[in-house]
Structure 1
Amino acid sequence: MSPQSTPDPGIPGKNPDRSTRRRGAGGRRRKPATGRRKALVAAAWTAAGIVVLGGTGAGFLYFKLNDNLKTVDINQALGTDRPGKADNGSENILVLGSDTRSGSNKKLGGGTDDGSARSDTAMIVHVYEGHKKASVVSIPRDTLVDRPECTDAKGGTHPAAQNAMFNESYGTGGAACAVKTVESLTGLRMDHYLEVDFSGFQKLIDDLGGVQVTTTKAIHDPNSHLNLDAGTHTLNGQQSLGLVRTRHGVGDGSDLGRIQLQQAFVKALIDQVKHVGLFTDPKKLYDLADTATKAVTTDSDLGSVNSLISFADGLKGISSSHMSMVTMPVRYDPADPNRVIIEQTKAHQVWTALRNDRSIPRTATQGTATGEAKGVVSAS
């Protein structure tokens, strides 16, 4: 049944007609809500909140109504020439933060309203068998890769390219080409795809009431409009966006330093959600869900309320303490310090571990470029 034909489920702020509310079929007066019925309603709101939780911890998962969700049919675009699915219940999710330069994102993304888009943030979230822990691998946007030929969601074909920046895959052919590139790099099948834009991220943090972090050093970056002294802060949406986008105010000024901040912020966000009373405040939960689903784009398999609830329910046992976060092993390009090159041998260790559903060995990331920003931000 579509949302339009479904009776109002009791969204906060709505007041259904009293005669409709009190009488059932045949005009009989309905029984007052029992304790069990109230518990079921609370459970339903909790299930919705779990989706919000899931989205914030592994590259950002969200929920509300079907007609709020935007979807991309990745399977149709990529066909059957893909890595196989795991048979043990583990899953891989590609999470992208998009910097579309149009609409409400124009001011946030910078530049002109030309409608262009790039993947400003990219994370592979590997959920292990049993769904009790996860590993997150961030892919630097400035990584030079060999982009495979790909077909976008509209059927357009894009030729392969060598030594192309990773984030150009999304700019060239959208979500489908980004997924194709990641699968080509890793040999891992991306079971799901999630994308969130700048303006949606900012509003989501504001609706949440901010996120508390502690900075060990002052961060002042005029490019991202972020000014934080050392200490504990509750960041609003604009400040949070500035933090996950800043690169000149920390470390060596590279994209790798920004990734360190993003990973720390994600963990802080997971911890924060657990303490804001979402599950006891239906109105707040509804507002968050409304914002989140308007900001998110998913693969078609996740493009419904039921699918998102089911998927997120399987992630609810993963806390920040059970989430390992690393950056894909890279080194600076000798020909251009603003670009990085994959350390193939070490990266192979990462992909092999995930393919076999094992923890990523520490040796895989030792001695690689880091951006020198680790420890600058932590959860409070």
Structure 2
Amino acid sequence: MSRRSCVRFTLRAVALTVLIGTGLGCASTAVPRVERTDVFGGLDNRPEAGPGMNILLVGTDGRETVTPYEKRVYRMGGIACDCTDTMMLVHVSGNRDRVSVISLPRDSYARIPAHRDRRDGRARPERAGKLNAAYQRGGPALAVRTVERMTGVHIDRYLQLGFRSFINTIDALGGVGICTTRHLKDPSTALDLAPGTSEAKGSRALQYVRSRKVDGTADFGRIQRQQRFLVGVLRRMARDDTARDPSRMKALVSALLGGAGQVRVDRGFTTAELLTLALQLRDLPPAATEFATVPVSGFRKRVPGVGETLQWDTRKSRSIFAALRADEPLAAVSLDAPPPSAWHESEYAPVSGAALDCG
């Protein structure tokens, strides 16, 4: 499955793309509230860096900052797995004239490299696992190492967002339009969305992008909804001309940074670099941006000690990541569509954000 959207100004995508990361550079007084972490120190045998910038965007399931009301109404209770709910690989071309975003399904089968478990401090050998467990076991550094080995893509920057940051930012934006052609109902998140277009504030928007059980599409359907949601975010920003209003941008950045411990970046992601990237991307047209999802060949493959996983299609995945390494558009990669029964209204070939917009 794949989808594509636009990112043409300072804020890139709430909990899902570099868009919000670039917004951090607009308010230097707020930047110290971002947690900077040593993500790349000690990493070895890394892929060779290529043209452009590759950012690993991670959305975590931390629930400690949501209110009791939000937990109850939007079913955010229970024990968080302290793992990655969303993971996207964002490539900004060397000429800053194109942005490509590849979603990495959380249940992807992964070989997690040898590491020291951050939960008990014990050394662990390389082992099989789901992709979202890499962060749980070894934090940002292990997540980066695992993704680099799976994709062969050198990660240059790391950006991590949590539930509170997402909620606050969508509220500051005034809500986002959500559209669906069918009834969406998920008992796990209490989502109950009628066909048509509706306006969603922060908590309800999070409910929408978290839902995985509205049908049999599981994480693939959720990724599709997340990417569709990004189109709504960017459409709202374009309508309100948010990126060119300093006071609104300051409010959005403050909202983004409002949840303590909710935003992490690598130590090298400086304010100056964030601001420069924001200015470079501000006027990027929708036609120069794209979303895609890693092609999968095996669904619900059971692995002993791991559970049901998704197996990447080796040949097709290599083609996608080769395009990133070569700084080429994903649209140039030829991929076959999956079986119609795999998931609802989905395909591999990247499409424009306009194709996801309800209007």
CA distance in 1 between counterparts of 2:78 and 2:101 reads 32
TM-fit CA distance, 1:379: 4.3
Counterpart check, 1:300 vs 2:272: no
TM-fit CA distance, 1:357: 1.5
TM-fit CA distance, 1:73: 1.5
Call closer, same or farther: CA 1:191–1:152 in 2, change over 3 Å. farther
CA distance in 2 between counterparts of 1:57 and 1:274 reads 18
Alignment of 1:257-276 (within 5 A): 257-276=221-240
Which of 298, 307, 326 is equivalent to 2:292?
326
Counterpart check, 1:128 vs 2:98: no
3-state SS in 1 of match to 2:101: strand
3-state SS in 2 of match to 1:140: coil
Alpha carbons 1:267, 1:379 under 8 Å: kept: no
* Cross-structure match for 1:366: 337
TM-fit CA distance, 1:175: 0.8
Which residue identity is paired with 1:145? A
Structure 1: state its 5+ residue gaps. Answer: 1-48
CA distance in 2 between counterparts of 1:370 and 1:325 reads 19
Counterpart check, 1:357 vs 2:321: no
* Cross-structure match for 1:142: 107
TM-fit CA distance, 1:297: 1.3
Counterpart check, 1:96 vs 2:75: no
TM-fit CA distance, 1:334: 4.2
CA displacement, residues 65-107 of structure 1 (integer Å, 9 cap, x when unaligned): 23211111112242x4311222x3x111111111024343783
Structure number with larger C-alpha Rg: 1
* Cross-structure match for 1:289: 253
> Percent of pairs identical after alignment?
27
CA distance in 2 between counterparts of 1:317 and 1:324 reads 15
Which residue identity is paired with 1:371? W
Call closer, same or farther: CA 1:241–1:319 in 2, change over 3 Å. farther
Which residue identity is paired with 2:46? R
TM-fit CA distance, 1:214: 2.1
CA displacement, residues 16-46 of structure 1 (integer Å, 9 cap, x when unaligned): xxxxxxxxxxxxxxxxxxxxxxxxxxxxxxx
TM-fit CA distance, 1:170: 0.7
TM-fit CA distance, 1:339: 2.4
3-state SS in 2 of match to 1:76: coil
TM-fit CA distance, 1:109: 7.5
Alpha carbons 1:72, 1:153 under 8 Å: kept: no
Alpha carbons 1:204, 1:291 under 8 Å: kept: yes
CA distance in 1 between counterparts of 2:78 and 2:13 reads 33
* Cross-structure match for 1:58: 17
TM-fit CA distance, 1:146: 0.8
Call closer, same or farther: CA 1:177–1:372 in 2, change over 3 Å. same
Which residue identity is paired with 1:266? L
CA displacement, residues 206-256 of structure 1 (integer Å, 9 cap, x when unaligned): 110111232111212232222221111222112211111111114x24111
Alpha carbons 2:177, 2:198 under 8 Å: kept: yes
Bigger mean CA deviation after superposition, 363-372 or 199-208: 363-372
Alpha carbons 2:16, 2:58 under 8 Å: kept: no
CA displacement, residues 100-151 of structure 1 (integer Å, 9 cap, x when unaligned): 243437836734467x511000110111231111221111101111111246
* Cross-structure match for 1:254: 218
Call closer, same or farther: CA 1:264–1:187 in 2, change over 3 Å. same
CA distance in 1 between counterparts of 2:198 and 2:346 reads 18
Aligned length: 326
Call closer, same or farther: CA 1:151–1:125 in 2, change over 3 Å. farther
Call closer, same or farther: CA 1:173–1:109 in 2, change over 3 Å. farther
Alpha carbons 1:77, 1:151 under 8 Å: kept: no
Bigger mean CA deviation after superposition, 191-200 or 262-271: 262-271
Which of 187, 198, 210 is equivalent to 2:152?
187
3-state SS in 1 of match to 2:329: coil
Which of 70, 78, 81 is equivalent to 2:35?
70
3-state SS in 2 of match to 1:100: coil
* Cross-structure match for 1:14: none
Call closer, same or farther: CA 1:317–1:285 in 2, change over 3 Å. closer
CA distance in 1 between counterparts of 2:294 and 2:267 reads 27
* Cross-structure match for 1:198: 163
Call closer, same or farther: CA 1:334–1:180 in 2, change over 3 Å. closer
3-state SS in 2 of match to 1:264: helix
The TM-score with structure 2 as length reference comes to: 0.80
Alpha carbons 2:217, 2:342 under 8 Å: kept: no
Which residue identity is paired with 2:268? D
Alpha carbons 2:108, 2:312 under 8 Å: kept: yes
* Cross-structure match for 2:199: 234
Higher relative contact order structure (alpha carbons within 8 Å, sequence separation ≥ 6):
2
3-state SS in 1 of match to 2:334: helix
Bigger mean CA deviation after superposition, 65-74 or 313-322: 313-322
